[in-house]
Chain A
């Protein structure tokens, strides 16, 4: 889904790009999809408080990506990833002020260049930026929680379209495992807290989750590499989210991904390094 979401360098060509039924370069699919969501949401329900704020987030994101990419990678980075980060910030951050949109984008993009281990950045950029803003600027910033009119049709359309695209990008297992886990944990929470199950399910029917599920947890640059590992990590994200929800943390999904995602990445990096050392040792011996 979001191959370019966080990549400072162009991705290798995906085999899926050779399939005849869909010829669009993969790196354009995610930007196209998120743009469709934005336009559909805004034209039908006027979801954007102002065009300018979203535009500010996008321009900041792309601008900084180009500058930092030039400085540290000596090339002009393809702007698709930064575009998605900017547009995610523009949709997900809610603030009456302008500066949080620029700042959140700037933190998101810069985090990719600063917080790196063994050449890999370990936080999903927009997850880092948004979590950071919620933590650091709580009196000015909230996230999108109530949009699309709370109606069924927009939700079904986005879920259907998102699922098809995510399947094409071979990341559907991540989304699927997360959704199933969330629903299972929702019923468990309902049983534990004796609150109506509908209220536990309610968050996933909202638009914040659509962006979270399709654009954040599927980010290939900040998820582990093995398919089995991805399933395990996303299950752990849902599990940790459930724990946070039991403590009534409003932004549980963002914080769960913020903690579990990088932890999994670090473990994978450590394991890879350990394996490489072991192989080197064997070869040397």
Chain B
């Protein structure tokens, strides 16, 4: 009898222990260090090696994004369907050696902006005078992103404008203006896309263009014939926009070859990025899809092969909104970061950090999601993210912006969202079945994440502690050494919000090195002049880090073309190995630190 009582008492204690477990785990979690710290520059510099200061006003940038207003049939849920379009891309359009900033606007009649770097800490919007501001005219749709690439290898970066509407290609006239060449190059009349990237998929030295559709291209969002435009499922939707791969023919024209090369998908693409994940010399293509699984296309130089499920990245459907690569453990291999949705108690998708599994390489590579283990899993309603060494300590950190719709702080749309999202396709697929928004927020006013990498597999969020305190609805993030100081500054485009420029101050003890690459091409051999796809592997202090020149990554974003490596204190660089898209390999022994190296592909 006594024994039974003791057993029952132990059982009750065990039960109480079980119920208390979540509290204990929560208290032990280090994931929101930033929440507990208030920003103080000196402390941040001492503790984390850097701090960020928002300087857009001082830099003369007062851009505020405007969301589109679509067909009135969508009015009840307009905040949701018009929730994207803010983007930022970095380009040195005039080749003056100073990066400039291009940002998109998304209301009909609104203007995009190209902020020319004035070399004195300020910027001047020159989009109007150069002919790339007034691109959101009635009947042509609105901008949702921009990527820059020198498609004709004349040395100047050309502009592809991603739109819900008529996509546009602008030829850069040697930095003095832009000429619209959309029809001449053979682009389709209408695509509802949020992502596009430049890549040279077939290694012919000419940049090709991938465009991922979101809404179906049959839909004119301003003149709807039906309200059945929504995804047929929250997790398995295949009724989105088609994908395009425009093969550059080299004569000023492109040929659409997606089906021909094996890209057939109608998932709802939100982000794409390309990098050579297997060391084949060909860029593989990663597509993060909303309402479904991600897709990974291995590229054999002629065709793409979808291997998402086989490699592990295309198994669990989520709400992919970002794709970016980073060698976060300095092992010469890329991790892929995909952002998703996490809302306490309602939807915990968790972001994905796809790490190549130990012992798997080449075609047999498998990925495992280690976001939780690395501490970069929960970021709210996450959007754009980029890897970059923010404190120059030699490891890549991660900047993530987030927040979906910030309206009434006290009323949430989550309840309505969750019940419709779980419904049958006939219900979820029709916009008229969705309850009206009525000014409510949906994962709004969220705090951002700045995850500092300790180099040993743990990231710590220090956003609040280093000065990232905004709560705008962030969409697109680009990292760039804006003032050629050897540090990565952060530019963030917010939906219905201001463009933010976070100027970075880094502890001077930490050294750095940058590489500005330019491909050379003659007689159809060599690399594209933008050097997109070129890899630099830096060997120092017994470790290595690989980075690749990208033609667009993150969410609707493009980083500084220059590759920036932080090196930590007293680094001893052994060599830098450049593998050009053409396959040529160039080694630089002991390159000097604290400077940017301009490298041209050897003939």
Report A-chain residues with C-beta under 8 Å of the C-beta of B233: 146, 149-151
> Which residues in chain A, 27-47, are within 8 Å of chain B measured between CB atoms?
45-46
User: Quick one: closest B residue to A45, CB to CB?
Assistant: B236
Partner of A110 from B15, B343, B416, B436 at Cβ < 8 Å: B15
Q: What's the Cα separation between A155 and B424 when bound, in Å?
A: 9
Residues of chain A within 8 A (CB-CB) of B372 are: 96-97
Which of B161-169, B346-354, B556-564 lies on the face that meets chain A? B346-354
Q: B15, A111: Cβ atoms under 8 Å?
A: yes
Q: A114-B11, A114-B12 are in contact. Are A136 and B235 (CB under 8 A)?
A: no
Choose one: B235, B236, B348, B428; the contact of A141 (CB below 8 Å). B348
Smallest Cβ-Cβ distance to A103: which chain B residue: B21
Nearest CB of chain A from residue B238's CB, rounded to whole Å: 10
Q: Mark B426-467, 1 if CB is under 8 A from A, else 0.
A: 111010111110000000000000000000000000000000
Mask for A75-96, Cβ within 8 A of B = 1, else 0?
0000000000000000000111
Contact B234 A146 (CB under 8 A): yes
List the A side residues contacting B603 at CB < 8 Å: none
Is A21 part of the contact surface with B, judged by Cβ < 8 Å? Answer: no
Q: Is the CB of A150 within 8 A of B234?
A: yes
A103 & B419 in contact (Cβ 8 Å cutoff): no
B542 within 8 A of A: no
Residues of A within 8 A of B369 (CB): 96
29 contacts between A and B (CB under 8 A): A46-B317, A72-B7, A96-B371, A107-B18, A110-B11, A114-B11, A114-B15, A134-B345, A136-B22, A137-B22, A139-B344, A140-B25, A141-B348, A150-B232, A150-B424, A151-B236, A151-B424, A151-B425, A152-B425, A195-B416, A196-B433, A196-B434, A196-B435, A202-B422, A202-B424, A203-B419, A205-B422, A248-B415, A248-B416
Complex CA gap A132/B233 in Å reads 29
Ranked nearest first, the 4 interchain pairs of A and B with the lowest CB-CB distance are A202-B423, A138-B345, A96-B350, A206-B422
A57 CB to nearest chain B CB (Å): 14
What residues on A are CB-neighbors of B364 within 8 Å?
none
User: Per a CB cutoff under 8 Å, which of B12, B15, B234, B348 touches A95?
Assistant: B348
Nearest B-chain residue to A202, judged by Cβ:
B423
Alpha-carbon gap, A86 to B120, bound state (A): 64
Q: Which residue of A lies closest to B347 (CB)?
A: A142
> Is A272's beta carbon under 8 Å from chain B?
no
Separation in Å of the B296 CB from the closest CB of chain A?
Answer: 16
Q: CA–CA, A207 to B422, complex, Å?
A: 8
User: Which residues of chain B from 390 to 446 have a CB within 8 Å of any chain A CB?
Assistant: 412, 414-416, 418-428, 430, 432-436
- Contacts known (A114-B11, A248-B415); A103 close to B421, Cβ less than 8 A: no
Known contacts: A198-B433, A199-B420, A199-B435. The answer to whether A150 contacts B425 by CB under 8 A is yes
Cβ–Cβ contact A110 & B415, under 8 A: no
Question: For the complex, would chain A's binding face be called helix, strand, loop or mixed by DSSP majority?
Answer: helix
Interface residue ranges, A against B (CB under 8 Å) = 45-46, 49-50, 68, 71-72, 94-97, 99, 103, 106-107, 110-111, 113-114, 132-134, 136-142, 145-147, 149-152, 155, 193, 195-196, 198-203, 205-208, 245, 248-250
Interface residues of B in 291-317 (CB under 8 A from A): 315-317
B426 near A139 (CB under 8 angstroms)? no
Bound CA span A199–B418, Å: 10
Nearest Cβ in chain B — how far from A64, in angstroms?
Answer: 10
**Nearest CB on A from B298, distance (A):** 21
Chain A residues within 8 Å of B371, by CB: 96
CA distance A110 to B426 in the complex (A): 41
Known contacts A110-B18, A196-B434, A199-B435: A152-B426 contact under CB 8 Å: yes
Given contacts A99-B25, A142-B347, contact A199 B18 (CB under 8 A): no
Closest to A94 in B: B348
A141 contacts B419, C-beta separation under 8 Å:
no
Contacts of A133 in B (CB 8 A): 22
Q: Which residues of B contact A145 (CB under 8 A)?
A: 347, 418, 421-422
| Distance A134 CA – B343 CA, assembled complex (angstroms) | 12
Residue from A152, A155, A206 whose CB has the most chain B CB atoms within 10 Å: A206
Please tell me if B598 contacts chain A, counting CB pairs below 8 Å: no
The tally of residues in B whose CB lies under 8 Å from a CB in A reads 56
**Which chain A residue has the least Cβ–Cβ distance from B425?**
A150
B26 at the interface (CB under 8 A from A): yes
A75 to chain B, nearest CB (A): 15
B11 touches A205 (CB 8 A): no
- B284 CB to closest chain A CB, in angstroms? 22
CA distance A134 to B418 in the complex (A): 15
- B:316-365 near A, CB below 8 Å: 316-317, 343-350
B1 in the interface (beta carbon within 8 A): no
Chain B residues numbered 205-240 whose CB sits less than 8 Å from any CB in chain A: 232-236
Residues in A whose Cβ lies below 8 Å from that of B315:
46, 49
**Given A45-B236, A195-B436, does the pair A146, B22 have CB atoms closer than 8 Å?**
no
Q: Nearest Cβ distance between residue B320 and chain A, in whole angstroms?
A: 15
Q: Are A202 and B433 in contact (CB under 8 A)?
A: yes
Q: Are A203 and B422 in contact (CB under 8 A)?
A: yes
Contacts of B316 in A (CB 8 A): 46, 49-50
Q: How far is the CB of B310 from chain A (nearest CB, A)?
A: 13
Measured between beta carbons, the chain B residues less than 8 angstroms from A72 are 4, 7-8, 11
Query: In the complex, are the beta carbons of A199 and B236 less than 8 A apart?
Result: no
Per a CB cutoff under 8 Å, which of A96, A99, A151, A249 touches B348?
A: A96
Contact A250–B18 (Cβ < 8 Å): no
| Contact present for B416 and A146 (CB under 8 Å) | no
Q: How far is the CA of A155 from the CA of B427 in the complex (A)?
A: 14
B317, chain A: closest CB distance, angstroms: 7
Given A139-B378, A193-B435, A250-B414, 11 further pairs, Cβ under 8 A: A46-B317, A50-B316, A94-B348, A110-B15, A150-B235, A150-B428, A195-B435, A196-B432, A201-B427, A248-B412, A250-B418
| Complex alpha-carbon distance, A114 and B10, angstroms | 10
A249 to B14 alpha-carbon distance, docked (Å) = 30
B418-A150 in contact (CB<8A): no
Looking at B232, B350, B419, B428, the one whose CB has the most chain A CB atoms below 10 A away is B419
Determine whether the beta carbon of B22 is less than 8 Å from that of A208. no
The interface bits of chain B over 481-522 (1 if a CB of A lies within 8 angstroms of the residue's CB, else 0) are 000000000000000000000000000000000000000000
Give B381 Cβ to nearest chain A Cβ, in Å: 14
CB distance from A137 to the nearest CB of B (A): 4
Inter-chain contact B22/A71, CB cutoff 8 Å = no
Expressed in whole angstroms, the minimum distance between the Cβ of A159 and any Cβ of chain B is 12
1-60 of chain B: CB within 8 A of chain A: 4, 7-8, 11-12, 14-15, 18-19, 21-23, 25-26
Shortest A114–chain B CB gap in Å is 5
Residues of B close to A141: CB separation below 8 A? 345, 348
A138-B235 contact in complex given A103-B18, A111-B15, A199-B419, C-beta closer than 8 Å? no
- State A63–B583 Cα separation when bound (angstroms): 57
Please tell me which one of the listed residues A110, A132, A205 contacts residue B14 in the complex, with CB atoms under 8 A apart: A110
State how many angstroms separate the Cβ of A66 from the closest Cβ of chain B.
Answer: 15
Q: Which of A137, A146, A149, A248 contacts B421 (CB 8 A)?
A: A146
Task: Say whether B473 faces chain A, with CB atoms less than 8 Å apart.
Answer: no
